[in-house]
Structure 1
Amino acid sequence: MRETPHAVVHYSEIGLKGGNRPFFERTLAQNILRRVETLGGQGRTERLSGRILVHLEEPWPPSRWTEALSTVFGVAYFAPAYLTSLEMSAIREAILENLPPGPVSSFRISASRDNKAFPLTSPEIQRELGAAVQQKTGWPVRLKGAELDIGVEILRDRAVVYLGRVEGPGGLPVGTSGKVVLLLSGGIDSPVAGYFALKRGCRVIPIHFHSRPFGNWMGSEARAREIVRVLTRYGMEPYLYVVPIGKQQREITVRAPVAYRVILYRRLMMRVATMLARQEGAKAIFTGESLGQVASQTLESLAVVEDVAGLPVLRPLIGLDKLEIIAVAERIGTFSLSLMEGDDCCQFLMPRRVVTHPHLQDVLRAESAVDMNALAQDALKGATRVEV
């Protein structure tokens, strides 16, 4: 295929939104342009029935279009496209000039007509154009499972032609479901949770806790920054909040029962996350917890930690096992980053044995020796916003 300044973008879930559909379409169009601009492109979008056309000032190769649009949530599928007049001769020429040079095992023509005044029906368009391709190449036609699907969309005033399409990530456009914060440890799970929050249309603000001045906190922060940088491709905010809690953790270890340290660490972080979320106008807290994966993720542990959250706590990974989470992390490009060196703040002075099925009254008793609200306020004062 030649380079082209045009692409056609189709969506699916947005089409079910009824009266709110224009809002979702506008947001998707804005996100497409924002992503295009991060790769050096300039242009505009055109919203049509069931699709969005993207027009750039300069043509892009198909690989650049794929890089740009395959990470925009709300996109069902897309294709670099060529615009022609409504003359069948022009449509035929656009197809024949852009056929791949190598052999193709099979092909099909997929035609649709928004313009019902067009003189040919969709099957007639497919037969005429298919015959032209077959005459030039000798390739066989296969209506199901064809290697090359050539799309022709007849609009009111022009036709859109594309050779092959690329699946998008689906979901809802980022920004249509409100703002949330993400507890980003830098491990394997929490970046995947952030990805799923983005996929459901949330604006995601990451919060990273580390144990400065203890342990390899610099490695932990560097790892979190790299993960956020990768997730900006999917629409994550290009910054994170970094909150050192080493001093507060030391206070907990001195005053609280040993077996409850991790629970109290997590309740501290949830308190701080709630305060930061309210400062940012966020409506929920996302975490990467998966039920039963580690000792701190039993139902009882999750409940006593959530007890101090002043906002809904959402856990998109709750029913996934580790292998399923790793598969997503590898696909989105965060898995290798999560293996970078850096100390998890929950491992700070980790006791040999921890409470796995805590009761709230026992947790409150363990906290009674520590002014947790004061520790949370102190930690909040040390929070910094770091641009990536």
Structure 2
Amino acid sequence: MKEIILCKYGEIALKGLNKSSFESMMTKSVKRRLKSCGQFSVSKAQSTLYVEPLNDDSDVDMAVEKLSKIFGIVKLCRCCVLEKDMDEILTKSLDYIEDEMETARTFKVDAKRSDKKFPFKSPEICIEMGGKILERFPHLKVDVHDPDVVVTVEIRETNAYVHAGSIEGAGGIPVGSSGKAMLLLSGGIDSPVAGYMMAKRGAIISAIHFEAPPYTSDRAKMKVEKLAKIITAYCGDINFFCVPFTEIQELLRDNCPEELFTILMRRLMMEIAQRICEKEDIQALVTGESLGQVASQTMYAMVCTDAACRMPVFRPCVGMDKSEIVEIARKIDTFDTSILPYEDCCTVFTPKHPKTRPNLADVEAAQNAFDWEPYIQKAIEGTKPYLIRNA
């Protein structure tokens, strides 16, 4: 039986005259992600992408998994394709949904008739389909409020489509529709979540990581690369920049007030990151900071950090509790990797009593007391960029 995947839009459908550009971005993303799944045709109509396998070698299960992580798609339906004939719908569709119906106890039928020329109205389709299901699967009962399975019959322009349940999509808007952003990616829980959330709002994500050997190990770097690899399932390919930061951290330790160490370190990280952004035509920085979570993430500290920036700094986790961030990390499969016990450079030389209410004038005076420019340039020159691809 012919099968197809219907990918339903979310807010893209509300973009008015710009809708076609959003559709184009999402279609390109779908085609690119499905290359490893076999041959599929992709077309669009009625605020839906039609993804059709072209031969038996096409891996529909893998395609559904990949499509569920593409931003812009809110719901996927794996359907059988039938002629717009009621007899065919009532007979052939039951074989397709048999597995779901055999394991359910209750069901309801939902009909969507976008082709108003179809001779049966939606309530009539529900009655006819419900009767056939009860006849074929006598153990089932109808429950219109909380059914185990919702059988949906969609009458569209060219065909009828029947499925028994939908799959939640990633939502958001297509990656590429909102510019480019550089994620400061540590080995923690928060920053991968921040990258995911910005990609969900259409940003193309690059990532920058600061390493400090021998204080940080190769395993710490590998952990961060793995985190970047995991979020490519949602973000797409990521340009990854690894900055040698040991010398700057040692100089900070020896030449700045201990209580300002973390603030000054973050200001220098921001300076390096935005210079690389300027070279790469990237418009914004992204961090995983959550207000008040640690000493460097107080409002006073953030003000001091942002004062060193010439471009926007987005903090999508800023108003979230740790439990909320962890919930998303589990959802996107980064949590188990994030909690591996390999330290990143942010934990090196951590002051015992960091200042939670730093004064900007004091911070700037401490930073200006030393000439950082040669070391910033050296760190940028030693940065190793490479591409982390989505499988």
Match of 1:187 in 2: 188
Match of 1:366 in 2: 366
What is the aligned counterpart of 1:15 among 13, 16, 27? 13
Whichever residue aligns with residue 321 of structure 2, its letter is D
Q: Distance in 2 between matches of 1:339 and 1:122?
A: 51
Change in 2 beyond 3 A, CA 1:162/1:249 = same
With normalisation by structure 1, the TM-score equals 0.94
With normalisation by structure 2, the TM-score equals 0.94
What is the aligned counterpart of 1:55 among 52, 57, 75? 52
Q: Distance in 2 between matches of 1:26 and 1:152?
A: 27
Deviates more, 1:368-377 or 1:249-258: 368-377
Could you report, residue by residue, the CA deviation over 1:290-348 in whole angstroms, capped at 9, with x for unpaired residues?
Answer: 00000000111011111111110010111111111111111111011112232221222
> How far is 1:277 from its partner?
1.5
What is the aligned counterpart of 1:84 among 78, 82, 85? 82
Whichever residue aligns with residue 196 of structure 1, its letter is M
Counterpart contact for 1:107–1:147, Cα < 8 Å: yes
Q: Distance in 2 between matches of 1:187 and 1:234?
A: 18
Match of 2:247 in 1: 247
Match of 1:149 in 2: 150
Match of 1:377 in 2: 377
Q: Distance in 2 between matches of 1:86 and 1:236?
A: 38
Q: Distance in 2 between matches of 1:83 and 1:185?
A: 47
Q: Distance in 1 between matches of 2:61 and 2:237?
A: 25
Counterpart contact for 1:218–1:342, Cα < 8 Å: no
Alignment length (residue pairs): 384
Match of 2:207 in 1: 206
SS, match of residue 80 in structure 1: strand
Counterpart contact for 2:207–2:238, Cα < 8 Å: no
> How far is 1:349 from its partner?
2.0
Counterpart contact for 2:248–2:375, Cα < 8 Å: yes
Whichever residue aligns with residue 223 of structure 1, its letter is K
Match of 2:356 in 1: 356
SS, match of residue 62 in structure 2: helix
> How far is 1:41 from its partner?
2.5
Q: Distance in 2 between matches of 1:343 and 1:244?
A: 15
Change in 2 beyond 3 A, CA 1:5/1:36 = farther
> How far is 1:144 from its partner?
2.3
> How far is 1:65 from its partner?
4.1
- Does residue 33 of the first structure (1) align with residue 25 of the second (2)? no
Structure 1 unaligned segments of length 5 or more: list them: none
Counterpart contact for 2:38–2:59, Cα < 8 Å: no
Q: Distance in 1 between matches of 2:312 and 2:325?
A: 22
Q: Distance in 1 between matches of 2:21 and 2:30?
A: 14
Alignment of 1:282-293 (within 5 A): 282-293=282-293
Supply the RMSD in Å over aligned alpha carbons. 1.7
Match of 1:110 in 2: 110
> How far is 1:99 from its partner?
2.4
Deviates more, 1:261-270 or 1:334-343: 334-343
Q: Distance in 2 between matches of 1:44 and 1:177?
A: 27
Counterpart contact for 1:24–1:173, Cα < 8 Å: yes
> How far is 1:62 from its partner?
6.4
> How far is 1:93 from its partner?
2.6
Structure 2 unaligned segments of length 5 or more: list them: none
Alignment of 1:168-187 (within 5 A): 168-187=169-188
Counterpart contact for 1:65–1:80, Cα < 8 Å: no
SS, match of residue 76 in structure 2: strand
Counterpart contact for 1:76–1:167, Cα < 8 Å: yes
Whichever residue aligns with residue 86 of structure 1, its letter is K
Match of 2:40 in 1: 43
Whichever residue aligns with residue 91 of structure 2, its letter is E
Q: Distance in 1 between matches of 2:51 and 2:288?
A: 35
Q: Distance in 1 between matches of 2:179 and 2:387?
A: 21
